[in-house]
Amino acid sequence: MSRNEAVIIRSVLTMSLHTPTAAIIEKPFGTLADGRGVDLYLLTNDNGMQASITTYGGIIVSLTAPDRNGVFADVVLGFDNLDDYLAGHPYLGAVIGRYANRIGKGTFTLDDQTYDLARNNSGNHLHGGIAGFDKALWSARPRSRPEGPQLRLTCVSADGEEGYPGRLDVTVDYTLTHENELRIDYRATTDKPTHVNLTNHSYFNLSGPGGRDILSHEMLVNADHFTPVDEGLIPTGEIREVEGTPMDFRTPHAIGTRIEDDDEQLQFGDGYDHNWILNKPDTDPSFAARVFDPTTGRVMEVVTSEPGVQLYSGNFLDGSLTGKEGKAYGRRCALCLETQHFPDSPNRPEFPTTMLRPDDVHETTSIYRFLAR
């Protein structure tokens, strides 16, 4: 039996500190063109919530959450097989790095030296470049934790990869807690000064992927300010109040309420594709955003140690991608909440720094918590 055809579960790790429902199951997911095998790990917590994660791109392939009646459904977009991921996709569920979001003109200067990065977005650098972390094959280590099953992923980005200076050693821990949270802990170290900004790029639809659009989802964002962008979606450097703009989600309302407003920022993004500056007292993880689907009662809360979050309303999905269960992914059928530092921070000294030096450690935490009402 070939690796692509294999359906035999190779290992089951039952969590020793909780009921037998908590487990990690590993199975083959396919093979890359160079012959390297890709695996898929299924994490299950004590409540029956599940997350499946593949070593290709660190991608969250599926994530289930209960509705108000306790019925579980998959709430992220993705594909049923590796080949569809390899054919190209808009970062569905992937780990993003070295730098999440955009760097203007694909260049920055660090310690008086200018670095030219891969330009893959209208002359700008986007989401780590042509072959970012979303295309890396990560090493995996399943672990038993008191909070729930955990998958530790590691990779090494070589000095000069995609134009970045320094070797970067990266660890991403996915923990599916018994509190129905998907916790993501990022850690990175370098041997040369560099810039780092890591996130996850899952597309969420709390009614189930490929179903209704997300315009009726109600959103709250804990932010008084956002970073306006130019036509290339690069921050202008201005810090603007959300009050009086379509970016004001301080009071929860449906995402579709203002998305078609005649607003320059919405025109630039063809909808929401912007960074909000979170109201944070410090760098500890704190509340960032909440999404509620009135139809199913599912709620997703986002907690993060990062200073910003990017809301992307799936504006460029056009139905050309066929996802899980043969569902076409159409315009605004999902949303992303990418916890992050601000776009183009390497070129904006007034923004919180993304610089990482050899004596420092880059560590951030983001939590996606699922409830129902």
Q: Which of 210, 216, 180 is nearest to 78 (CA)?
A: 210
Beta strand spans in 146-267 (E): 148-157, 168-176, 181-190, 194-195, 199-200, 218-221, 223-227, 240-241, 253-254
For residue 114, CA distances in Å to 10, 28, 125, 165, 348 come to 48, 42, 15, 10, 15
The CA-based angle 62-63-68, given to 5 degrees, is 140
| Residue 227 DSSP SS3 | strand
Distance CA 365, CA 345 (A): 19
- C-alpha dihedral (91, 96, 100, 101), degrees to nearest 10: 0
Return the amino acid letter for 347: N
* Residues with a known catalytic role: 201, 338
Q: Which of 367, 48, 334 is nearest to 207 (CA)?
A: 334
Distance CA 202, CA 75 (A): 10
Return the amino acid letter for 253: H
